[in-house]
Amino acid sequence: MRKAIILDADACTGCRVCELICSMAKHGEYNPKKSYIRVIANIDFGVYLPVLLTNCDFCGECTEWCPVEAISLHDAGKAAIMQRKSKIGQFPIPFVRG
């Protein structure tokens, strides 16, 4: 199955739990520097954008722990439909692998 992870910057609070969960899942330690997801922050505008690195294997572990469901794992077909329904220029952003 082709998988897609949808990143919703409008929902993200910048808590960075996802970075901790990924580093623990992949490297056995809480170390954001070893995470395959990074949260980019623009403090001035209060905007947070979670971004997947190329090492991400779409295991979905981080999506289980995001407190506001700003990252979610889907079948790629479903993600494409969700993107089509969203307005141009708005999130969510789907990353697809499979």
Binding site residues, ligand SF4, CB under 6 A:
12-18, 22, 25-26, 36-37, 39, 48, 50, 52, 56-62, 66, 68, 70-71
What residue type is 19 in one-letter code?
E
Q: Are 23 and 34 in contact (CB under 8 A)?
A: yes
Is residue 24 within a helix (H) or strand (E), and if so which, with residue range?
helix 17-27
DSSP 98: -
What residue type is 62 in one-letter code?
C
Closest to ligand SF4 by CB, 83 vs 95, is 95
Least distance (Å) from ligand SF4 to the CB of residue 58? 5
Beta strands in 15-78 (DSSP E): 37-42, 47-52, 71-75
Closest to ligand SF4 by CB, 25 vs 80, is 25
Least distance (Å) from ligand SF4 to the CB of residue 80? 19
Closest to ligand SF4 by CB, 52 vs 93, is 52
Least distance (Å) from ligand SF4 to the CB of residue 85? 21
